Amino acid sequence: MNGERGSWGSRLGFILAASGSAIGLGNIVFFSANAYKYGGGAFYVPYLIALFVVGMPIMVLEFGLGRYTRRAFPEAMAQVGGTRAEIAGWFGIFNATIITIYYITILGWVFGCLIGSLGPLWKPAQLEAFNLPAGALSNAMVFFFNMISRIDTVFWVIIVWIFNLIIVLKGTRSIEKAVKLFVPLMWLMMIVLIVRGLTLENGIQGIFLLFTPDFSIMRDAEVWKGAFSQMFFTLSLGFGIMTTYASYLPDDADDINNASTVSFMNCGFEFIAGLAFFSLLFTFSIIPKASTLSMMFFVVPEGIAHFPFGVMIFGCIFFLLLLFAGLTSSVSLVEAIISSLIDKFNWSRFRTTLLVGFLGVWGSIAFALPQVVDPGLDSNGTLGLSLLDLFDHWAFGYGLLIAGLLECIFLGWLFDLDTLRAFINKTSWFKLGRWFNILVRYVIPIIILSILAASVLEEYQLKLYGSTMNNTLCPKLYLIVFLIWLVICILIPITISHCRRPRHRDNQIETSL
């Protein structure tokens, strides 16, 4: 069976693939943006608590589930909890599909900037769509807004989709090849950027800024919410990815060791990215806006533009780093979708890959459409970006947490968690005690429920999210996007789960469970 579904050639291949999935755009810029917003080093406290209390336990759970069932996420859930659990599994996959679709659009923009960093990105230019005085925006900002207001961005998006499809075409074999190249290169490029950052005059001072904690922020519920939902995103949890990747592992894999290695690699990367960018920002007195997109496309490039030499080279390194980190993340979900469909419908990999690519590319193009509706720029500038923001609001803000909650409920309450725990312990050096049950059954669900409740309350108390946006399209769009999200994540999963499952060539699992 392993041969049919594919399996990792080595443990290293798996670790590189799983850490490649975890290390993505979020790690490179998000941490710096948030650490700056939420009191420098003090952000580490909620962050580390989120890592140990929620992140690592859920990763162990997802790895264990994949190895136990040897199926991609929805089928794996179906095997431990029947049709209802399968619906929850597809919910996770479709919710993550939405995230992947706009994540690939962002990667298309990264690709455009990579090409731009060979020259035009650093040169002053006129902002085509608006009459702003020269010098009102940095060169990188002008380049970015000009780029996303042109139709040719769609071309970059299609190219990134093609990269994704090529990497997953041969399943684990091709993914393993890609991650063996991209992940080490990613680390290398990050190290180059740190050395550059720290050797800038005053670069070290930036690090002090990062480590001068303002503990008062810990009273702010938003900080905790930020840390916990980011932990899901950064570790690729609630996407169904880790279960799918673990389903290709051999019988004797150590889930706890693997989960610790992947989480530490992920958080280590995030940490050193913080060092690189804080030194750079401090040296050039740039105040980071706490948004991942502006860090990526405006703030860091602006810093690089100030370098005394090698602007083009360091610019290319930065955008290549983003592209590699993003690709190894996006392929993990494209693989999770393909593998889920193959496990459910027994389709061929080639056809499934083409189908997923064909449908997905239209979605990513929709996010890249160059309709400039908001010349204020503060709230992002284009319909594409507003749409992206709205989908992100539901799929990232709520969807990932809901997927994690459903996982804990099905595995913790509706399935005999002790069986899974014993299965994980059998091949692990570190043994999970009964405390693990308490975490999965009570602690994590209570944390997730509190965050969700706080978010819903905020949604109603403060304002309808859409009305905070500058353009009139948004309040309506806000509801439309919500409905689309519901249809994609609930109606389609219910329908798929009720489709009859073609008999698997191998039904050992069904009988052995």
**Which residues are near ligand TRP by CB under 6 A?**
21-22, 24-27, 99-100, 103, 233-234, 236, 239, 241, 329-330, 332-333
| Helix, strand, coil share (%) of the chain residues, nearest 5 | 75, 0, 25
> What is the C-alpha separation between 186 and 21, in angstroms, rounded?
12
The neighbouring-strand residues paired with 372 are: 382
The neighbouring-strand residues paired with 382 are: 372
> What is the C-alpha separation between 32 and 275, in angstroms, rounded?
8
Q: Between the CA of residue 321 and those of 110, 316, 475, what are the distances in Å?
A: 10, 8, 36
The minimum distance between CB 334 and ligand TRP, in angstroms, equals 8
Residue 480 DSSP SS3: helix
The minimum distance between CB 329 and ligand TRP, in angstroms, equals 4
The minimum distance between CB 263 and ligand TRP, in angstroms, equals 11
**In which residue are the tokens 């990264």 written?**
110
Question: Which CB, 76 or 160, lies closer to ligand TRP?
Answer: 160
Question: Which CB, 101 or 200, lies closer to ligand TRP?
Answer: 101
Question: Which CB, 132 or 185, lies closer to ligand TRP?
Answer: 185
The minimum distance between CB 236 and ligand TRP, in angstroms, equals 4
Question: Which CB, 25 or 54, lies closer to ligand TRP?
Answer: 25
The minimum distance between CB 336 and ligand TRP, in angstroms, equals 8
Task: Return the closest-CA partner of residue 110 out of 40, 52, 163.
Answer: 163
> What is the C-alpha separation between 354 and 498, in angstroms, rounded?
24
Question: Which CB, 95 or 283, lies closer to ligand TRP?
Answer: 95
Question: At 417, which amino acid appears?
Answer: L
Question: Which CB, 117 or 330, lies closer to ligand TRP?
Answer: 330
Question: Which CB, 22 or 477, lies closer to ligand TRP?
Answer: 22
Question: Which CB, 144 or 233, lies closer to ligand TRP?
Answer: 233
H-assigned helices in 235-348 = 241-246, 255-283, 292-294, 300-305, 311-345
The minimum distance between CB 435 and ligand TRP, in angstroms, equals 27
> What is the C-alpha separation between 221 and 131, in angstroms, rounded?
40
The minimum distance between CB 102 and ligand TRP, in angstroms, equals 8
- The alpha carbons of the chain give a radius of gyration, in whole angstroms, of 22
The minimum distance between CB 404 and ligand TRP, in angstroms, equals 14
Task: Confirm if 225 and 454 have CB atoms less than 8 A apart.
Answer: yes
Question: Which CB, 259 or 474, lies closer to ligand TRP?
Answer: 259
> What is the C-alpha separation between 312 and 331, in angstroms, rounded?
28
The minimum distance between CB 438 and ligand TRP, in angstroms, equals 27
- Within 8 A by CB and 6+ apart from 376, the residues are 470
User: H or E element: which one contains 14?
Assistant: helix 11-22
Residue showing the smallest CB distance to ligand TRP in the complex: 24
Count Cβ atoms below 10 Å from residue 10 Cβ, excluding itself: 11
Question: Which CB, 38 or 307, lies closer to ligand TRP?
Answer: 38
Task: Return the closest-CA partner of residue 86 out of 423, 395, 495.
Answer: 495
Q: Taking each helix axis from N to C terminus, what angle separates 255-283 and 56-69, rounded to the nearest 10 degrees?
A: 140
The minimum distance between CB 21 and ligand TRP, in angstroms, equals 5
